[in-house]
Amino acid sequence: MRYKETKVTVAHKGIGVINESDVLLAAASNAIIIGYNVFADANATQLIKEKKVEVRSYQIIYEIIEEIEKALKGLLPPKFEEQIVGKAEIKQVFKISSIGFIAGSIVLQGKIVRGKDVRVFREGKLLCTSKINSLKRFKEQAKEVDAGLECGIGIEENLKLAAGDILEVFELKQIEQ
């Protein structure tokens, strides 16, 4: 198994039927009991119900391995991959008293999408990471604006934007592990 962030701890291993002491150990250590070609005896079965211990019994060894790998995969934190949605260059900045700064921009590539995350770069240096909270095309609200078009962009961060700043819109997509 190749799951560095997770770990399987074996509290006890043995042969023979699953007995009361196996159940008590599993209950005390908040563990599950995995049996291979074995079942619980009558006393252990009663104790399993009382202590609400999970018991999994298998007849094929590969099924055990598959189940443990699935369980470990479920414990892993999700992984995300960043995707650049679009870039825009600020041509002129407008100060609107009730809103703040609006960046009159031209979309260089991809598209600018309202509500997405955005990074602001000035002369190649990252100024901030924020979110697009306003996007207008002419005087109309827009959900997105494609490459080659002009638009007005407002970001949540109250940053003094400047002509020449680059806005890089991105999103994080969860990837399969």
- In this prediction, residue 1 carries a pLDDT of 45
Per-residue pLDDT band at 6 (split at 50, 70, 90): low
Question: What DSSP assignment string belongs to the chain?
Answer: ---TT---------SSSB-HHHHHHHHHTT--EEEES--B-HHHHHHHHHHT--EEEESSHHHHHHHHHHHHHHHSPPEEEEEEEEEEEEEEEEEETTTEEEEEEEEEEEEEETTSEEEEEETTEEEEEEEEEEEEETTEE-SEEETT-EEEEEESS-----TT-EEEEEEEEEE--
Sign of CA dihedral 157, 162, 166, 169: positive
Q: What CATH number matches the domain at 80-175, 2.40.30.10, 1.10.357.10, 1.20.1530.20, 3.40.50.1980?
A: 2.40.30.10
- In this prediction, residue 2 carries a pLDDT of 52
- In this prediction, residue 170 carries a pLDDT of 96
Q: Which one is predicted more confidently, 10 or 23? A: 23
Query: Residue 132 pLDDT > 90, yes or no?
Result: yes
- In this prediction, residue 92 carries a pLDDT of 96
Phi, psi of 74 (to 5 degrees): -70, -25
Give residue-wise pLDDT tens across range 91-121.
999 988 777 789 999 999 999 999 999 999 9
Domain spans, the chain: 20-75, 80-175
Give residue-wise pLDDT tens across range 15-69.
889 999 999 999 999 888 998 988 888 899 899 999 999 898 888 888 888 888 8
Give residue-wise pLDDT tens across range 135-155.
999 889 999 999 999 999 999
pTM above 0.75, yes or no: no
